[in-house]
A and B are shown apart, each in its own frame.
Chain A
Amino acid sequence: MVNVEVTPLPGIGTRQDFVSRSGRRIGVVTYRDGHFDLIVSKHDDPDSCVASIPLTTDESGALANLLGGPQLVAKLQEQNRDVPGVDTRQLPLAQDSPYDGRTLGDTALRTRTAVSVVAVVRAGTVHPSPRPDFTLGGGDLLITVGTSEGLAQAADVLDNG
């Protein structure tokens, strides 16, 4: 379990951070007005920060996507370990993908590659078991289950149509 430390910053907000296994302090400073900074400590001076990056709500959602997706994949992989030949991967939908703005049904992934989309991660939120009429958007992460060839094909379909 990661131990997240919450420190009040009087007059400013709060700092929430934890120390990673590699010895770096990672966290966020949440301001009273709701916006926040991503902070990462310096390697040689853990008291200070190498970066303090202001993030908008959208940007923090995107970051949560990037970090939350693999966690979901790891969980599914754990569950599918007993089933030989089945693999779990996260496939990003690029901004310029032909399916940006179209439905999951339009991709016909199941028919063409035998791959199932078990969840879509968007702006830090997981949409489980999306239906064929689920509209995809650039930046979405598709959590997919299938054979390794099927998954490679699916990635190609999502990129090139």
Chain B
Amino acid sequence: MHNTAISLIELGAVFFGLGILGRLAWKIGVSPIPLYLLGGLAFGAGGLVPLEGIEPFTELSGEIGVVLLLLLLGLEYSAAELVTGLRRSWLAGVLDIVLNAAPGAAVAFLLGWGPVGALAMAGVTYISSSGIIAKVLGDLGRLGNRETPVVLSILVFEDLAMALYLPILTAVLAGTTLLGGLTAVGVSLIVITVVLVVALKFGRYVSMVVDSPEPEVFLLRLLGAALLVAGLASQLQVSAAVGSFLLGIAISGSTAENATKLLEPLRDLFAAVFFVVFGLNTDPRSIPPVLGYAIALAVITTITKLATGWFAAQRQGIARMGRARAGAALVARGEFSIVIAGLAVAAGAVDGQLAALATAYVLLMAILGPVAARVVEPAARAMQRLATRGSAPASP
């Protein structure tokens, strides 16, 4: 069939192009996410070369991408790690929410997007990209550093906050009243507690349902379970993302580790499609009007994440340079900001410009994050030199 041939060629060209972009991104030391978004922008409506005929595939693949992104986020930390993380870093975690959600919400109100838009934008600016951060820390050889557990425990806390936030966002996007919103909060708190208890006490059984020594069977069961749970959650108006996320938390131990290894390449593939689709659905012409806001948000939320990391590291008795490193490491935003914006835009309950603002913001932050993590040490040293110059001769 002629149409199939064209679609295959288009799809092949898209994947191949993404492969080149991804290689380029890691080579210059930034995350490939912004480049995927740019790729999507270039090919979508109003872009350079509109692509047609592959939407049926890309739309569903993008959805699967979100399910897999959240499933692996859930798999990343065991229930025990989540509970310890909550106990140890709740104060820094709360500060993280207050400092980093507020700028997004404020800009949304400023642009007249109302409380629903504010809730979505608060999530976009709050959530750090655990994917980018883990990769950057590994690349820079900082996993042995003393501040690294501090950074990781903040990410764990954000993980838990997402479990609470996503159901609320979904409920609010579906247009529920204040009472409905509160019910959603109550229900999601109960569900998370139940899932955590189940994962802690009976994690083996959940793992047993999907586990298999055959990689093929294991993969099919995992993917099947994830899509089933996601679909059912979606039917119950809880959002597919939340369902797969909670499934990820419930799967534990060695099953979780094997699942992560098996699903990572699939996640990378479908997530790339998701970012492209998000870019495709965003009209590039809608970005310039909100670019100023995006830059302002980028500057402010870089400072607020720096402050969060500084505060958290200071509480653990880490010296100034380590505090600065912890703050800079947390700056990167990426996949989950786009997931949140995607949920909001798909529900149609927010201003269409939110997608443009989120795209521009993530473009900036996904590039700025790794760069900040790299330049923080020389920058901090230069500032120290400036501060000591004049008052005392520089120490050898």
Partner-B contacts on A (CB < 8 A): 7-12, 15, 17, 25, 27, 29, 32-33, 37, 39, 41, 45-49, 51-52
A47 with B261: CB separation less than 8 A:
no
- Tell me which residues across on chain A come within 8 A of B85, comparing CB atoms: 10
User: Do A15 and B321 have beta carbons less than 8 Å apart?
Assistant: no
B251 to chain A, nearest CB (A): 14
Cβ-defined contact, A9 with B141, below 8 A = no
Q: Please, which residues of chain B bring their CB within 8 A of the CB of A37?
A: 141, 143-144
Question: B219 contacts the other chain (Cβ, under 8 Å)?
Answer: no
The residues of A that contact B319 with a CB separation of less than 8 Å are 45-47
Check B145 against A47 for contact (C-beta < 8 Å): yes
Asked if B322 is at the interface (CB within 8 A of a chain A CB), the reply is yes
A41 contacts across to B, CB distance below 8 A: 144
B63 in contact (CB, < 8 A): no
Return chain A residues, CB-CB under 8 Å to B134: 11-12
Chain B residues with Cβ below 8 Å from A7 are 149
Closest residue of chain B to A28 (Cβ to Cβ) is: B144
B84, A52: Cβ atoms under 8 Å?
A: no
The answer for the CA separation of A27 and B318 in the assembled complex, in Å, is: 18
Whether B257 lies near A8 (C-beta < 8 A) is no
Would you give 10 A-B contacts (Cβ < 8 Å), ordered by A? A10-B76, A10-B156, A15-B143, A17-B144, A27-B144, A39-B143, A45-B322, A47-B146, A49-B142, A52-B142
How far does the alpha carbon of A97 sit from the alpha carbon of B286 in the complex, in Å?
Answer: 73
Q: How close is B164's CB to chain A, nearest CB, in angstroms?
A: 18
B147 nearest CB neighbor, chain A only: A47
- Contact partner, A8, options B76, B142, B149, Cβ 8 Å: B149
A interface, over-half SS: strand
B59 touches A (CB below 8 Å): no
Q: Which residues from chain A contact B146 at a C-beta distance below 8 Å? A: 25, 46-48
Residue B148 at the A interface, CB < 8 A? yes
Least CB separation from A7: chain B residue: B149
Chain B, 75-128, CB within 8 A of any chain A CB: 76-77, 81, 84-85
* Chain B residue total in the interface (Cβ 8 A): 27
In the complex, which of the residues A10, A15, A33 contacts B144, with contact meaning CB atoms closer than 8 Å?
Answer: A15
Q: What CA separation (Å) do A34 and B146 show in the bound complex? A: 21
- Chain A residues lying within 8 Å of B325, measured Cβ to Cβ, are 47-48
Q: Is the CB of B141 within 8 A of A49?
A: yes
A11 touches B143 (CB 8 A): no
Look across to chain A and name the residue whose beta carbon is closest to the beta carbon of B254. Answer: A32
Contact (Cβ within 8 A) B261 A33? yes
Q: How many A-B residue pairs have CB under 8 A?
A: 75
Chain B residues within 8 Å of A15, by CB: 143-144, 148-149
Partner of B143 from A33, A45, A52 at Cβ < 8 Å: A52
User: In the complex, how many angstroms separate the beta carbon of B117 from the nearest chain A beta carbon?
Assistant: 32
Query: Which residues of the partner chain B approach A9 to less than 8 Å between Cβ atoms?
Result: 143, 148-149, 152
Q: Considering only CB atoms, which chain A residue lies closest to B133 in the complex?
A: A11
The chain B residue sitting closest to A11, CB to CB, is B76
A27 / chain B contacts, CB cutoff of 8 Å: 144
Interchain CB contact under 8 A, A45 and B84: no
B318 A8 Cβ-Cβ under 8 A: no
* Residue B155, interface by CB 8 Å: yes
Q: Does B153 sit at the interface, judged by CB under 8 A?
A: yes
* Contact A52 B149, beta carbon cutoff 8 Å: no
Closest residue of chain B to A10, judged by CB? B81
- The answer to whether the Cβ of B170 comes within 8 Å of any Cβ in the partner chain is no
- Tell which of B77, B149, B318 has the most Cβ of chain A within 10 Å: B149
> B188 contacts the other chain (Cβ, under 8 Å)?
no
Does chain A have a CB within 8 A of B130?
A: yes
A48 closest partner in B (C-beta): B145
Q: Are A45 and B321 interface neighbours, CB within 8 A?
A: yes
Q: Give 16 A-B pairs besides A9-B152, A33-B257, A37-B144 with Cβ atoms closer than 8 angstroms.
A: A9-B143, A9-B148, A10-B76, A10-B149, A11-B134, A12-B143, A17-B144, A39-B143, A45-B321, A46-B146, A48-B146, A48-B322, A49-B144, A51-B141, A52-B142, A52-B143
CB of A21, distance to nearest CB on chain B (Å): 19
Assembled-state Cα–Cα distance A32/B81 (Å): 14
The docked-state distance in angstroms from the alpha carbon of A11 to that of B257 is: 10
Do B155 and A49 have beta carbons less than 8 Å apart? no
Q: How far is the CB of A133 from chain B (nearest CB, A)?
A: 40
Q: A3 CA to B383 CA in the complex, in Å? A: 36
Is B130 in contact with A8, judged by CB distance below 8 angstroms?
Answer: no
CB < 8 Å neighbour of B257 from A29, A32, A46: A32
